[in-house]
Amino acid sequence: MAGKIIADTIETGAGADIPTSYVVNGSAKAWGGDMTDSAVAGDSFNISSITDSGTGINQPSWSSAFNNADYSSTTAATNPTNTSGQNRAACIFLVSTSSMKIQTFRSDTAAASSVGHNFVSFGDLA
């Protein structure tokens, strides 16, 4: 049996009321932890696949699309070997309602495969 819950607020155990819009709008709609070039080794949410789109470029695709391409995302890449030449930085580009691309660079600005890459995205789902 399918059902629907309609509520304007959620009450915490301490008796505080939280608007449901705060919970829905403030929750991550997609995220991946410990992502490599074409897979998520850790946990993830709302990811249907990850495409290796070139050296240091991976493209997570969403299981449920975003309403528009104006959603907000942040990303980070970790240092795989704990040496200064292997430090990583990451940026997000080519955002669409169904996916985004993430480019990873070494500290010497060369494109580099991602190891231990994490991201999170917030916005309205379609």
Q: Is residue 39 part of a domain?
A: yes
In a domain, 9, yes or no: no
Number of domains in the chain: 1
Inside any domain, residue 38: yes
Residue-level pLDDT at 83: 60
Q: What is the pLDDT of residue 73?
A: 95
Whether residue 43 is contained in a domain is answered as: yes
121: closest CA among 23, 45, 34, 39?
A: 45
Q: Is residue 4 part of a domain?
A: no
pLDDT < 50: residue spans in the chain: none
Residue 16 included in any domain = no
pLDDT at 122: 95
Query: Quick one: pLDDT at residue 38?
Result: 66
Q: Is residue 76 part of a domain?
A: yes
Residue 68 structural domain: 28-122
